Amino acid sequence: MKKVGLFLLAVMFILGVAGSSWAGDTLAAAKKRGVLVCGVKDSTKPFGFIDEKTSSIVGYDVDFCAAIAKKLGVRLELKPVTSSTRMPDLATGKIDLIAATMTKNEERAKQIDFSYMYFYTEQRFLTRKGTVKTLADLAGKKIGTSKGSMSEQHAKKALPTATILSFDDYPPAFLALQQGRVAAVTTDESILVGLMNATKDRNNYEIPNIQISKEPYGLGMRKGDANFVNFVNKTILAMEKSGEADKIYRKWFPGNRLFTITDKQ
């Protein structure tokens, strides 16, 4: 028994060392193989979606990945992820970086490291026009959102009597709203605007002035990957200083930005 115990301790030590070393090797590994693998959404306008003309993934998040890969001097490879797969894909090494509308919070920060905030929005609701004016109007109703998202958790807290239906992604949740299977779709306002603007009957929908959470987005990296985290932070701060970050924002969103990328977060 004693030998077995010592053997297990040795295995755990080796795995621990290997794990911590692997977590800190992303910067060097990406340079060595000449590729940065970025996990992005492929059906969430305007952050990450398929361009019909080129059949490639484009969007706000994609442009940030491209800027980081360029600064690193490597080729960018995009891997589609969802709210529920992005963190497991990062943990298992399938991707190097998460750029997928992910909110920074204390719970997630226990599992992964985040960059400085590179986007800010708020969680709201997308409804049929004229059907919802206050949060109370959604009590006891069915609400659609994305599986594994913070939106899912916030909705349950804000509407304890509602039935929260979780879909693989936001487009299926919006389809449920169009079909009358849910009374609203909830997630970050920027995503809701993309869903609404992508449909031909967008005039039939609206986003009521009901906010249930603040959503600062961060780029996700493996826990303890200090060199890579520092590199990404320096890169996006430089993008802010040069005006590149603002240029990317204006490319995908109308109007002026209401936030800046800083190290005071």
* Element (DSSP H or E) covering residue 208: none
pLDDT at position 91 is 95
Tell me the average confidence (pLDDT) per consecutive run of 10 residues in the chain, 265 residues long: 39 38 76 97 95 96 98 98 96 97 95 97 97 97 93 95 95 96 96 91 95 96 96 98 97 90 88
* Full set of structural domains in the chain with CATH: 25-118+218-252 (3.40.190.10), 121-215 (3.40.190.10)
> Contact, 254 vs 197, CB < 8 A?
no
Alpha carbons 203 and 102: distance in angstroms, whole number: 28
| Tokens describing residue 198 | 């992508």
Longest dimension (CA), the chain: 71
pLDDT at position 255 is 80
pLDDT at position 67 is 98
Helix 189-197 with 170-178: angle, nearest 10 deg: 60
pLDDT at position 254 is 84
- For residue 104, the 8-state DSSP code is P
| Tokens describing residue 28 | 């060097």
Alpha carbons 71 and 73: distance in angstroms, whole number: 5
pLDDT at position 23 is 52
